[in-house]
Structure 1
Amino acid sequence: MTAAAKLSPLLALLEQQMHEAKLWEVSPPSDQALASAEPFAIDTLQPEQWLQWVFIQKMNMMIKLNQLLPKGFSISPYYSEVWKLDSEKGEILITLGKIDEACA
């Protein structure tokens, strides 16, 4: 199974989980906020904003365009730390771990 075939349903699940957790936003952040050079745009975006407006969008676009997907990244440790006191995000953290594994 290709990385795209593994990743696409995980991205859809992540989006669904974010909707269910009321983390999905209707309006995007400003272009300036999205242009941050910091990892996870930590200086301009909330963690869930980065997932929605940067990660999910870019990965879905790469899949759609049949581009080579990045490998060897880990985003779940960052989110595990950021959301360690928020038990409501447990399912999202599990999905992020699966995304990391799919792109290992």
Structure 2
Amino acid sequence: MSRNEKQAAEMAALLLDLEATLRQLNLWQSESPCAEALASTQPFCIDTLEFSQWLQFIFIARIQFMLAQQAPLPVVSGITAMAEEVYRQQAEVSSVLLPVLRAIDGCLGQGVEQARH
């Protein structure tokens, strides 16, 4: 298995972990936000979505699409830093969600190492 395949497999597992974590925290939604909200050009759709909505409807969907297309994954995401800011007053959320997001950032960071070799 190549490094790219290992990274893809790890990312697929991490996306499942993220979904399970969002469900555990009751942050998973059964209905998608409107198309206008999803079309925001602001980072993390901060002007139209809650961060958990961005994770579910933008981030997970985009990374799943990239994995299905065998496209290169982003090499940086910054989602942990954003989550730390969003959930800084919610210890119960951050204590469960941040480890998963750190693992995702770490997995995406592997792409930086691959690009150097």
Q: TM-score, normalised by structure 2?
A: 0.85
Deviation string, structure 1 residues 14-42 (Cα, Å, up to 9, x no partner): 00010111100011000000000000000
Q: How does 1:44-63 map to 2 (within 5 A)?
A: 44-63=48-67
**Distance (whole Å) between structure 1 residues aligned to residue 32 and residue 76 of structure 2:** 28
Q: Does 1:42 align with 2:41?
A: no
**Distance (whole Å) between structure 2 residues aligned to residue 99 and residue 41 of structure 1:** 19
Deviation string, structure 1 residues 54-81 (Cα, Å, up to 9, x no partner): 0001101111121111112221001011
Superposed displacement of residue 84, structure 1: 0.8
- Of 64, 85, 90, the residue aligned with 1:86 is 90
Unaligned runs of 5+ in 1: none
Q: How does 1:24-43 map to 2 (within 5 A)?
A: 24-43=28-47
Flag the structure with higher helix content: 2
Superposed displacement of residue 5, structure 1: 1.6
- Of 8, 13, 23, the residue aligned with 1:9 is 13
Could you tell me the percent identity over the aligned residues? 35
**Partner residue in 1 for 2:105:** 100
Q: TM-score, normalised by structure 1?
A: 0.95
**Partner residue in 2 for 1:73:** 77
RMSD: 1.0
Aligned length: 104
**Distance (whole Å) between structure 2 residues aligned to residue 85 and residue 96 of structure 1:** 17
**Distance (whole Å) between structure 2 residues aligned to residue 42 and residue 4 of structure 1:** 27
Structure having the higher Rg: 2
